[in-house]
Amino acid sequence: MTRVKMCGMRTPADIAAVNLVRPDYVGFVFVPGRRRAVSPERARVLRGLLAPGICAVGVFVDAPVDTVAALLADGTIDVAQLHGSEDAAYIERLRRAAGLAPADVAGARIIDARTVRTAADVRSACESTADAILLDNGMGTGETFDHALVELACRPFFLAGGLDPENVGAIVGRLAPFAVDVSSGIEAGGAKDLGRMRAFARAVTTAGDNDRA
C-alpha cells in the first residue's frame, strides 16, 4: 500500500484536517522565504496538536547539521527531508549528531530529495546513503516530470511533483511508489482544503486496493 505524505502544514486548522484524514506523514517546511515556511517554535506547537501515529517530517535546504539534529532530537520532527546540496558526508554528520542508525525506507529518518530531469538523476538518487529517496520535479513547483524516468529507480521511493486528487490514483497504479508527497495539490485558494485532502487520500487507497484485486 502506497503511503501518503501531506506537506506544508502551517496552521492549527491544517493539523485538525490531517488528524481527520490521517496521512502517514505530514511535512513542516523549514526553509526561510518559502510561502509555507514555519519557524521551529511554530512547528513545535503544531506537532503538539498532531494525532499520534502521524509522522512529522521537516523539510530543509542546506540547513546546518546541528539545526536539523536538534529538531530531530527534541521530537519536533521524526524525519529530515533534505532538498539542497546535502551529500553523503552531510548525511553521515547528521546521523552522528542526531544519534541515528541507518534504516530501511519504512523506518526512514533521513530522506534525500532529488530533482529529476534525466536518467542519470535517478541513478544518482538510487546511490544516496540516505534511508529513503524522494523523486521530484523541484521543491514546491507543483509540476510533474517525466515519470518514465521513475521506472529506472532501483529502490523504493517517495514521489512528489504535481500530484493531486485527480491524477494520483493513476500514477500510483502505474508506478507503485512507496509514498506520494503532496502540498499544492491539496490546497484551494492557497490554503489546505479538507475536501481535497480526503479525495487525495481516497484516490491513493483505491489505487492500492485495485493493485491487490
Domain boundaries, the chain: 3-212
pLDDT score at 210: 59
Cell 517546511, residue located: 29
pLDDT score at 208: 66
> 96-107: per-residue pLDDT in tens?
999 999 999 999
Q: How many CB atoms lie within 10 A of CB 106?
A: 11
Catalytic residue among 24, 131, 136, 164: 136
What stretches of 35-92 adopt beta strand conformation (E)?
A: 55-60, 79-82
* Predicted model pTM: 0.94
Amino acid letter, residue 203 = A
Catalytic residue among 7, 14, 112, 131: 7
Taking the CA atoms of 127, 137, 131 and 60 in sequence, report the sign of the dihedral they define. Answer: positive
Cell 513545535, residue located: 44
CA gap 29, 212 in Å, rounded: 34
**The CATH number fitting domain 3-212, selected from 3.40.1160.10, 3.40.50.300, 3.30.230.10, 3.20.20.70:** 3.20.20.70
Nearest to 25 by CA among 180, 191, 205: 180
Amino acid letter, residue 46 = L
> 1-44: per-residue pLDDT in tens?
999 999 999 999 999 999 999 999 999 999 999 999 999 999 99
Asked whether the predicted pLDDT for residue 167 surpasses 70, the reply is yes
Catalytic annotation on 66?
no
Q: Within its chain, how far is the Cα of 175 from the centroid?
A: 17
Catalytic annotation on 136?
yes
